[in-house]
Amino acid sequence: MQTRMPGSRSTLGRRLLPVLLAGLCGGLALTILSLSPPGPSSGLADEVTAALAQTGVTSPVTAVLLDFRGYDTLLEMAVLLLALGGVWSLVAHLPRIDGRPGIMLDRLTRLYLPLMLVVAGYLLWAGGTAPGGAFQSGAVLGAAGVVLTLGGWRLPPRLAGWPLRLVLTAGLVIFIAVGLLPIGFGSLWLDYPRAWAGGLILLIETTASLSIGATLAALFLGGQPRGDP
Amino acid sequence: MTPATLYALTGVGLFAIGLYAFIRHAHLLRKILAFNVMGSGVFLVLIGLARRTPTGLTDPVPQAMVITGIVVAVAATALALSLMLRVVATIGRTELPDDPARRAE
């Protein structure tokens, strides 16, 4: 199928490429090696620790994700939805019709699935105080969806219409709604009231992890699940 | 050399390997895989350098950036794979045409 033109330009490029890449790699490595040793002002860890008390969570990463840089996280969930919209518009319907799974996969799915749901719930809850949170929990939920799909399970048609879309968009909608809430109290967009911050972050994270899990599983499926017309 | 620097250097190496494969391979699936390897290298650089704090506590800001980045990379990969399937279905080959003028010859 493919016709590659034998020419001096391509052979020269083929020889030159490793040299150029080695130069680039060496330059980047030198940059990293020449970084000055960490001084007292390097990094934002101290600023984050100092402001942690205002956020209602004690895990610094969760505080950065949901409070200090809440805008990034909000837009990122919009990116996830946009990617799913792109995939759904490119692939009209579910392309793969798989046969029945083997007995091994079937049994393992039944065994793993409750465990994965428990792990996802734990990660979500632990996100307030330790590493964890909506994205990790959503990733496990998405993997659970992938395992279910591989096991031959399909979303029932009556759930594939608006209920699925509700779950997919709930994270973003709740996030925007909670972000708008402080404006009513004379505060800024996404600046949660300090007394409620912990609870609001938990609310955002719970819906976000459900939405992220559903989106990731839907991205894996590749096409729009068939629903009732 | 601290472990943080070692991780960052490994990230640079991964990035270079990914870039090499990205340029050399014409197959679209290999290009997507190479792009993911490049992304992993960037994440490793960020996480490795986040460890370079005087207190020894990892800087949470790059960590949060990488968590968001990983999820976006997964979504972008899914979109890229769908695009690839569409390209294959449309033009019947797994590589993009090199050069329109040359193809017409």
Q: What would the mean pLDDT of A93-111 be, rounded to a whole number?
A: 75
So what's the pLDDT on residue B103? Answer: 53
pLDDT tens by residue, A43-72: 777 778 888 877 778 888 888 888 888 888
Whether residue A87 and residue B67 make contact (CB cut-off 8 A), yes or no, is no
Domain spans in chain A, listed from the N-terminal domain onward: 56-221
Q: How far away is chain A from the Cα of B32, in angstroms, using its nearest Cα?
A: 15
Average pLDDT, chain A: 83
Quote the CA–CA distance of A27 and B44 in Å, as a whole number. Answer: 17
Is A1 a residue whose pLDDT tops 80? no
Whether residue A32 and residue B67 make contact (CB cut-off 8 A), yes or no, is no
Residue A43: list chain B partners with CB under 8 A: 50, 52-53, 59, 61
The band of A2, judged by pLDDT with boundaries at 50, 70 and 90, is very low
pLDDT tens by residue, A129-151: 888 888 999 999 999 998 888 88
The band of A80, judged by pLDDT with boundaries at 50, 70 and 90, is very high
More confident site: B95 or A40: B95
Reading the block at residue A20, the tokens are 């150029």
Packed helices B3-24 and A8-33: angle between N→C axes, nearest 10 degrees: 170
Phi and psi at A124, nearest 5°, equal -65, -45
Q: How far away is chain B from the Cα of A160, in angstroms, using its nearest Cα?
A: 20
So what's the pLDDT on residue B34? Answer: 96
B 60-99 → A contacts, CB under 8 A: 60-61, 63-65, 67-68, 70-72, 74-76, 78-79, 81-83, 85-86, 93, 95
Please tell us whether the domain made up of B3-94 is placed in CATH 1.10.3720.10.
no
**A201-218 CB burial, b ≥16 within 10 A, e <16:** bbebbbbbbbbbbbbbbb
So what's the pLDDT on residue A3? Answer: 47
Residue A5: list chain B partners with CB under 8 A: 102
Whether residue B58 and residue A45 make contact (CB cut-off 8 A), yes or no, is yes
Residues with Cβ within 8 Å of residue A131, at least 6 apart in sequence:
A59, A61
Q: Is B88 helix (H, G, I), strand (E, B) or coil?
A: helix
The band of A182, judged by pLDDT with boundaries at 50, 70 and 90, is confident
Report the 10 Å Cβ neighbour count for B66: 19
So what's the pLDDT on residue B20? Answer: 93
So what's the pLDDT on residue A132? Answer: 83
Report the 10 Å Cβ neighbour count for A153: 13
Q: Is B74 helix (H, G, I), strand (E, B) or coil?
A: helix
User: What is the total residue count of chain B?
Assistant: 105
More confident site: A209 or A47: A209
Residue A135: list chain B partners with CB under 8 A: 67-68, 70-71
CB burial of residue A120 (10 Å; 0-12, 13-18, 19+): buried
pLDDT tens by residue, A5-35: 444 556 787 888 889 999 999 999 999 888 8
Q: Does the model's pTM come out above 0.90?
A: no
- Which single residue is written with the structure tokens 């960052």? B8
Residue B67: list chain A partners with CB under 8 A: 61, 65, 133, 135-136
The band of A40, judged by pLDDT with boundaries at 50, 70 and 90, is low
So what's the pLDDT on residue B37? Answer: 96
What distance separates the 2 farthest-apart alpha carbons in chain B? 64
Residues with Cβ within 8 Å of residue B24, at least 6 apart in sequence:
A14, A17
Q: How far away is chain A from the Cα of B46, in angstroms, using its nearest Cα?
A: 11
Residue A40: list chain B partners with CB under 8 A: 54
Q: What would the mean pLDDT of A180-204 be, rounded to a whole number?
A: 83
What are the residue ranges in chain B where pLDDT is below 70? Answer: 56, 99-105
The residue of chain A nearest to residue B103, with distances taken between CA atoms, is A3
Is A229 a residue whose pLDDT tops 50? no
